[in-house]
Structure formats: C-alpha cells, structure tokens
Amino acid sequence: MARVAVVTGGTRGIGEAISLALKEQGRTVIANYAGNDERAREFSERTGITTMKWDVGDHEACLEHCSRITEDHGHIQIVVNNAGITRDGTLAKMSFDDWNEVMRVNLGGCFNMAKACFPGMREAKWGRIVNIGSINGQAGQYGQVNYAAAKSGIHGFTKALAQEGARFGITVNAIAPGYIDTDMVAAVPDEVLTKIVAKIPVGRLGHAEEIARGVAFLTSEDAGFVTGSTMSLNGGQHMY
C-alpha cells in the first residue's frame, strides 16, 4: 500500500515540485494550500494530485484535516512542511502582526502538522518529516527578522524532534534552500536579483526540482539513517 504524504503549500513553486516528486515515488500525495482556489484546481486537474485547503497556522484545522486524510487514505507517514509566508520590513517598521503571522504560519505550522501526524507515524514505526527552512534562517537577512527567526527556529525544531522520533523509526530533517527560481523570487527587481546571483558561486538561481529531489531522498526508504540533519541547497552561497 502506498505511503500517504502531505505537502503543505504543495500546489505552487517548490511545493508543487515536491508534490510531483513524491507522486513519482509512488506516494499517495495530498497537497495542502491556503488561498488560491483557481491555482489549486488547475494543479489538481493537471497532476491528478488531491488538494485540500486549510491554514497550517491553525492548530485545530491541522488536526481536523489530517484526521480526515487518515480516514480516507490511512495514516499519514510523510509530512513536508513547506508552507510559508513573508511580511518583510525592518524592525523599526515591522508591526507585531507582521511578526506574529510569520511565526504562526512558518514555525507554528511545523508544530501543528507534526502534532497531528506524529502519533500515526509512531504507531506504524515509520515516518518521515521534512521541514523546509531557508538560507536566510542560517545567515540572516536584512528586513526579515520575522522570517529569519521562524526559519532558524525550524532548524532547532528539526533537531529536537529528530531525537524524539528516532526510536520509533521516524526521521526528521530539514532542507535550507537558497534563492530558487520561483514566482516569489521572480518578483524581486532585476537589479537586486543580479546582485543576488553574483553572490552564488555556481552562478545561477536554483530550481524547484532540485529541492524536490532532496526531499525525495530524505523521505525514501534509503534515508533511514539520516535524521536531525539540515541539507543546504544554495549553490554554495552560504556554507553552513
């Protein structure tokens, strides 16, 4: 029976590439999304992957939807915490709401999804959790104290939960992408993007599929001895 995988923020950009990679592995994939119904519908029609809408920052919503997925498909054994938002600004201009919303979704979503799925993984004596961090959580970034703090928190969350899951056959790892050619990066002004690429030793942006291949490995049967690790996929921009 195919293992059930949930990818949060799984219908666009890096999340879409991850959902497709897991489907190619033979997983039963459910792609979560938060807002764009039209994009989710198009994604589902094109890929055949089931989509479900909920806010990963809402604890009760995560419990409810993961319970529904379990009833329909069986225990969730793979979780990829990819959903994330930005509310950029310097500390002087950042509101508490800007801070709180990024922490609620980006870091809180990891807790909520792990809390919902960990018992089923423990019962099955097998599980894979992959949390998508960021180069900016490792190196920091001007104007992103909320985002950098949340992503940095993900790396600590990963190491701590890995210690809890190891004896149950549950691995917990993170991937820290650098700058990837997604819609979010495409919105950056050309002159800024040129400066960013100039700092990447390989001389280009990354591709979403490259992140997805990392996730595919970490969620595979072959990765059972890898836990508590962060895979930095950034073209050498930050060697951590």
At residue 133, φ and ψ (nearest 5 deg) are -90, -140
Tokens representing residue 179 in the block: 């700058």
pLDDT digits 0-9 by tens, 73-123? 999 999 999 999 889 899 999 999 999 999 999 999 999 999 999 999 999
Residue 51 maps to a domain: yes
Per-residue confidence (pLDDT) for residue 240, from 0 to 100 = 66
Domain assignment present for residue 226? The answer is: yes
- For 51, the token pair is 């989509």
Q: SS3 for 34? A: coil
Contact partners, residue 142, CB within 8 Å, separation at least 6: 90
Mean predicted lDDT score pLDDT of the chain: 94
Confidence of residue 67 (pLDDT cuts 50, 70, 90): very high
Q: What is the pLDDT of residues 161-195, one digit of tens each?
A: 999 999 999 999 999 998 999 877 777 788 888 88
Predicted confidence at residue 191, as pLDDT, reads: 84
Q: Any catalytic annotation for residue 240?
A: no
Tokens for 11?
Answer: 């219908």
pLDDT of residue 189: 81
State residue 183's pLDDT score: 77
Residue 84 covered by a domain: yes
Asked if residues 54 and 61 have their Cβ atoms less than 8 Å apart, the reply is: yes
Asked whether residue 121 is domain-assigned, the answer is yes
CATH code: domain of residue 118? 3.40.50.720
Structurally, the chain folds into a number of domains equal to 1
| Average pLDDT for 32-59 | 96
Q: Which residues pair with 232 in a beta bridge?
A: 176
Domain with 86 in it: 4-233
Alpha helices, H only, 103-239 = 108-124, 135-139, 145-165, 183-186, 190-198, 208-218
Average pLDDT over residues 222-229: 97
Residue 140 has pLDDT above 90, yes or no: no
E strand or H helix at 131, and its extent? strand 127-132
